[in-house]
Amino acid sequence: MTTPHPQQPDIMSGRANLQRGLETVGGHLSLVNDRLVFTPHKLNVQSDPVEIPLAQVRGTRPAWTKFLGVLPLAPNSLAVELEDGTVHAFVLSERQEWKAAIDDALAAQRWHADPRRPRLSEETDMARNSQARPGASLADDQRSPSAERWEVDLDWLWGTPPGNDGSAATLRLDVTGPGAAHAAVRWMDSLSADEDGVRGEGGWRADPGNVGGGEDHAVILLTSAGEDVADGLEDAADTAYEALSAVPGLQLHWAPQPRR
């Protein structure tokens, strides 16, 4: 099989399924320097290849694979969201590794387009590397023992009003410990920003919260909305955890906020 851009070596490649309406299309996904290329198997009804220039990608987030595009089956898809709102959902066996590779390629391309843009913090790079290499992990003295991941609370998102109606949900993250405010600012500066200066990635945003605790306390408000609100908040919380838990001495406290 010949890819449309054989002069560019693959950064990552492998088997993947692409959700196209009611059909799940099997094929091969490749990541090169400036784009994603999905080549369907010839036996599929929808066999046209898909090229996604990275310049058009807003971000990536974990997502649920859905039966007939509606009923959630398993959390093993990766959603690639474009600037125009289009979402391509790929079912992948190594979702975290794919996400890390695509996010790194996006960051590199954005930095080359604007060298003044801050690169990812050292803590975020270390965390992403630990995901990209199976079996790799941060050293014990680099992972805060009091920092825990947020577990998705479906009772909060779906079981209480307004329920799963697509309205926004906000998760409050309190970061405490030596240098908490500085670490929070560095992490938020590493996120993409839209034309209004709002920080976040595909499917979620991060805003600073009000706090009077000086340099040892910061509040970050993570917000997502839409039918994939659970996936968006999970991705936001995981992204924050991977970066901030790598800073020794920090504590993370998660608090779902009342929904309206």
CATH topology of domain 12-113: PH-domain like (2.30.29)
CB 104 within 8 A of CB 98: no
Confidence check: pLDDT of 144 > 60: no
What pLDDT shows up at residue 170?
94
CATH 3.30.70, domain 140-256, yes or no: yes
Closest CA to 62 of 167, 164, 194, 204: 204
Residue 222 pLDDT greater than 70, yes or no: yes
Cα distances from 248 to residues 19, 21, 186, in angstroms, run 41, 45, 15
Tell me if domain 12-113 and domain 140-256 are identical in fold.
Answer: no
Confidence at residue 106, expressed as pLDDT on a 0 to 100 scale: 86
pLDDT, the chain, mean: 77
* pLDDT computed for residue 196 by the predictor: 76
Q: Tell me what the mean pLDDT of segment 150-155 comes to.
A: 86
Q: Are 217 and 110 in contact (CB under 8 A)?
A: no
pLDDT value for 75:
60
Average pLDDT over residues 11-28: 82
pTM of the full structure: 0.52
Model pLDDT for residues 225-258, shown as the tens digit of each residue: 876 788 888 889 988 998 898 888 899 999 999 9
* Residue 111 binned pLDDT confidence (cut-offs 50, 70, 90): low
- Given a cut of 60, whether residue 188 has pLDDT beyond it is yes
Where in the chain are the domains?
12-113, 140-256
- The sheet with strand 204-208 has its strands ordered as 192-193, 199-201, 204-208, 217-224, 169-176, 251-256
Higher pLDDT, 202 or 17: 17
Please determine, for residue 126, whether its predicted confidence score (pLDDT) is greater than 70.
Answer: no
